[in-house]
Amino acid sequence: MVAKRGNAEDYTMALVAHDGKKPAMLEWARRNREALVQFKLYGTGTTGGLLHKELHLDITRLLSGPLGGDAQLGALIAEGKLDCLIFFIDPLSSQPHDVDVKSLTRLAVLHDTALAMNEETADAILAHMQRKQL
């Protein structure tokens, strides 16, 4: 879906992290803050709050993932309103809302939304999105 060109604020990105990956998300966002401030950002409850508080990012906070935030992001994807999903998933912890996570990632794949589930892929997608803005 990152085929459009235009101003950075025309691009939307969601930042989400499971509890065990929130420190990694915070560090990744800190390293990439200058690039991230150029995008319209969404985040699920705790992740969005952490990124706002620690890095002063202007981020639209949705509900917590298990309480409907994953579904809200899925709706944005289905409506074509989200260009990129950066979701640091903790593969070593069971998640009580695993069904929601699977639904969200399924929608991202179905709608050809850029999807990163680790730092290396997030770096590549962010670089790609920045090039598309030119």
CATH of the domain at 92: 3.40.50.1380
Cα–Cα distance between 115 and 86 in angstroms, integer? 6
- Measured CA to CA in angstroms, residue 14 lies from 11, 51, 63, 92, 100 at distances of 10, 12, 13, 22, 16
Question: Residue 81's pLDDT is what?
Answer: 97
**Domain range for residue 28?**
8-132
Q: Do the domain assignments include residue 58? A: yes
Q: Do the domain assignments include residue 64? A: yes
Q: Do the domain assignments include residue 40? A: yes
- Give the residue among 66, 31, 32 at the shortest CA–CA distance from 47: 66
What domain count does the chain have? 1
What's the average model confidence in pLDDT over 7-13? 77
Q: Do the domain assignments include residue 2? A: no
What's the average model confidence in pLDDT over 45-62? 97
Q: Do the domain assignments include residue 1? A: no
Question: Residue 7's pLDDT is what?
Answer: 59
CB 57 within 8 A of CB 33: yes
Would the pLDDT of 127 be above 50?
Answer: yes
Q: Do the domain assignments include residue 41? A: yes
pLDDT tens digits for range 22-52: 999 999 999 999 999 999 999 999 999 999 9
Question: Residue 11's pLDDT is what?
Answer: 92
Question: Residue 51's pLDDT is what?
Answer: 98
pLDDT tens digits for range 63-122: 998 899 999 999 999 999 999 999 999 988 877 778 888 999 999 999 999 999 999 999
Q: Do the domain assignments include residue 3? A: no
Q: Do the domain assignments include residue 106? A: yes
Question: Residue 8's pLDDT is what?
Answer: 54
Cα–Cα distance between 78 and 64 in angstroms, integer? 19
DSSP letters spanning 1-59: -TT--S-GGG-EEEEEE-GGGHHHHHHHHHHTHHHHTTSEEEE-HHHHHHHHHHH---E
- Active-site residues, by number, are 70
pLDDT interval class at 1 (50, 70, 90) = very low
